[in-house]
A and B are shown apart, each in its own frame.
Chain A
Amino acid sequence: GQQVMQIPQYQHVQEGEDFTTYCNSSTTLSNIQWYKQRPGGHPVFLIQLVKSGEVKKQKRLTFQFGEAKKNSSLHITATQTTDVGTYFCAGRGNSGGSNYKLTFGKGTLLTVNP
């Protein structure tokens, strides 16, 4: 079945440093979504990427979807303490009944030292 792998599992940075998390799928994806879960909270949708090679920005966050639509990344520039949380990628399959199933990576827990 479809698997979505995410690295690193944990990342600790000093405030002001950059942060990147990477997501890889075992199969081609129709789209990929990113969610953020604050400690003690629930996942909250950040963005969706659909097109091959797509790049989207939200303030200090940059999201990329790979050309083969099998990988994605989230880059945060100049981290702030408010960026603390677990970042998940989630992908939908490209064929058959797996289309509706949104498979999440295990997430990257980001901690920021002020």
Chain B
Amino acid sequence: DSGVTQTPKHLITATGQRVTLRCSPRSGDLSVYWYQQSLDQGLQFLIQYYNGEERAKGNILERFSAQQFPDLHSELNLSSLELGDSALYFCASSQSGGMGEKLFFGSGTQLSVL
């Protein structure tokens, strides 16, 4: 158990809908990362937060948004969902988001868009 909690574990929804994925980092970790994993694209970095502020941005679509709350949990919002958004979404955390830190991954949320 990495200590990173992601909910829900599975999500099935329809195209055009909006969903929210939730992540609670390890106790004491201030930085949260979101990754999308699909079979053909591997682990794609979406976005990183540190102590409530956005620190780095990857290939995150405009239909996607995220935030980190004062209690350090984070939410990833996906809207106007398309079939191609079906993937495994991982949240990871690290202590301060510094360059030398390892990431601790949650178990992921499997999103299926039908």
Residues on A facing B (Cβ under 8 Å): 30-31, 33, 35, 41-45, 48, 50, 88, 90, 92, 97-107
Interface footprint category on B: 20 to 34
| Option from A30, A41, A48, A107 in Cβ contact (under 8 Å) with B43 | A107
- The interface residues of chain B, by DSSP majority, are classed as strand
Query: Contact: A42 with B43, CB < 8 Å?
Result: no
Query: Contact: A45 with B102, CB < 8 Å?
Result: yes
Does B84 make an interface contact (CB < 8 A)?
no
- Which residues of B sit under 8 angstroms from A35, Cβ to Cβ? 103
Residues on B facing A (Cβ under 8 Å): 2, 33, 35, 41-45, 48, 55-56, 58, 90, 92, 97, 99-100, 102-108
- Which residues of B sit under 8 angstroms from A100, Cβ to Cβ? 48, 55-56, 97, 99
- Which residues of B sit under 8 angstroms from A99, Cβ to Cβ? 99
B80: shortest Cβ distance to chain A, in Å? 25
User: What total of A-B pairs shows CB separation below 8 Å?
Assistant: 57
Query: Contact: B100 with A31, CB < 8 Å?
Result: yes
Query: Contact: A97 with B56, CB < 8 Å?
Result: yes
Query: Contact: B35 with A104, CB < 8 Å?
Result: yes
- Which residues of A sit under 8 angstroms from B97, Cβ to Cβ? 100
Query: Contact: B105 with A44, CB < 8 Å?
Result: yes
Which of B35, B42, B44 has the most chain A CB atoms inside 10 A of its CB?
B42
5 example contacts (A-B, Cβ-Cβ < 8 A) are as follows A41-B107, A42-B107, A44-B2, A104-B44, A106-B43
